[in-house]
Amino acid sequence: MRKNQRKPRIAVVLLITVALTVVGVAETWRLGNNQQWQKVADANSSGKTFNTNTLEGAIAQAKQLASEGKRSKAKKAYAKISLNYPQFAGDDFNAYVKAELMYAKRKYAEAAKIYSDFIDNYPESPLWQAALEREFQIGSAFLYGQKRTVLKIFKLHAYEEGTEIMYEIADTTGDAPIAKRAIETLAVSNEKRDAFDEAYLAWADAQNRWPTGDMGQMSLLGMARSLEKDYKGPAFDGKVLISSKSYYTEYTTRYPESAQQLQVSQTLATLEREMSEKELLIAEYYKRTASYQAADLYYQQVISRWPASAAAKAAEQKLPEVKKLLAESQLPKKKKFNWKGLFL
């Protein structure tokens, strides 16, 4: 029975993939009036009609109904497809529909798990790409603020779940466009919520996967930018400045025209200024704690590395005093006269 159905089933693979892709490609999300994250395409296409007399039209309509949260209508639409196109219906179809109906109920975490299982279990299904797109949409929603329900009461952010979904998509699809979209979305969303350390890790992962081409260029710049923004001021660790500078410098070498357009040279100048201020603060700390040798070293470093900076001018003013204190600290200490010893 399966053998006889194989040819007509294969014949609809391309058709079904195209139909699902047409209604599935959307990457921009917004928070709707019902406080649910929606794809802009979904929000704008509500009420759109499809020619349900064709397989592609029926599939497009069913998927749109699920996108709009109309679970009952989506269930009927998928049931009609199963009835009218039995050569297409099978275990994979039933598993996909199960995920779609959970998605229509806005139970995104549960739907993501079912889509994930589907992707693992049915890699040759014509619905495989559609499941990936749905998983991507859920991951994007989580990363941009869609909350998950815990114990049927509490609403919690699902950034970790979104991160896991995006890495899973990238690991599954390799060099496919959706893999790059997944990691890019992860990195950008982390930047938008000021999670710059996590954004850096995502960009670094992208750089490791795709070191050349558009993604290589984008991720290198993203690494530099994330570390730059992660710097919290001279009172905090300045290692991110050094790393950010190295990535911006590499970007300038590899992509000089883009670097010029983005005014990377100005960014590098800002990083240099912040680095000089950081070193000056360290020098002043050592001076306060009477570690004059270390203070002397850091003041001299500021002057030699950033001679034209405001920090260097401040260091030049304070260096003579530190050298004097250092010299005094190295003089042999006078022994105190033991008056008590005279009477023993």
What is the tens place of the pLDDT at every residue in 84-99?
998 888 999 999 999 9
Q: What does the alpha-carbon distance between residue 107 and residue 112 come to, in Å, rounded to a whole number?
A: 9
- Sequence-distant (≥ 6) Cβ neighbours of residue 263 within 8 angstroms: none
Which residues span the domain enclosing 93?
Answer: 1-141
Alpha helices in the chain (DSSP H): 2-11, 13-24, 40-44, 55-67, 71-84, 91-104, 108-121, 128-143, 159-173, 177-192, 196-209, 213-230, 239-254, 256-261, 264-288, 292-305, 310-329
**Where is the domain boundary, 117, 141, 165?**
141
Whether 146 and 158 have beta carbons less than 8 Å apart is answered as yes
More confident residue, 50 or 232: 232
Per residue in 33-65, pLDDT (tens digit) is: 443 444 444 444 455 666 667 888 888 899 999
- Sequence-distant (≥ 6) Cβ neighbours of residue 16 within 8 angstroms: 55, 56, 59, 88, 126, 127
More confident residue, 24 or 312: 312
- Classify residue 334 as exposed, middle or buried by CB count within 10 Å of its CB (0-12, 13-18, 19+): exposed
Whether 243 and 220 have beta carbons less than 8 Å apart is answered as no
pLDDT band at 133 (very low <50, low <70, confident <90, very high): very high
Q: What does the alpha-carbon distance between residue 56 and residue 79 come to, in Å, rounded to a whole number?
A: 15
The answer to whether residue 207 is domain-embedded is no
DSSP strand pairing (147-150 vs 37-39): unpaired
Mean pLDDT of the chain: 85
Does the structure show a pLDDT above 80 at 222? yes
Whether 15 and 55 have beta carbons less than 8 Å apart is answered as yes
The answer to whether residue 26 is domain-embedded is yes
Does the structure show a pLDDT above 70 at 336? no
The answer to whether residue 162 is domain-embedded is no
Mean of the pLDDT values across residues 118-134? 95
Q: Which amino acid is at 67?
A: S
Percent of the chain predicted with pLDDT > 70: 80
Please tell me the total count of domains within the chain: 2
Whether this prediction's pTM lies above 0.85 is answered by: no
pLDDT band at 331 (very low <50, low <70, confident <90, very high): confident
Does the structure show a pLDDT above 80 at 337? no
Six token digits for residue 208: 């490791």
Helix axes 91-104, 55-67, angle to 10 degrees: 30
**Where is the domain boundary, 141, 156, 183?**
141
pLDDT band at 30 (very low <50, low <70, confident <90, very high): very low
The answer to whether residue 234 is domain-embedded is no
Mean of the pLDDT values across residues 12-35? 43
**Where is the domain boundary, 121, 141, 161?**
141
Residues in the chain, total: 344
Does the structure show a pLDDT above 70 at 190? yes
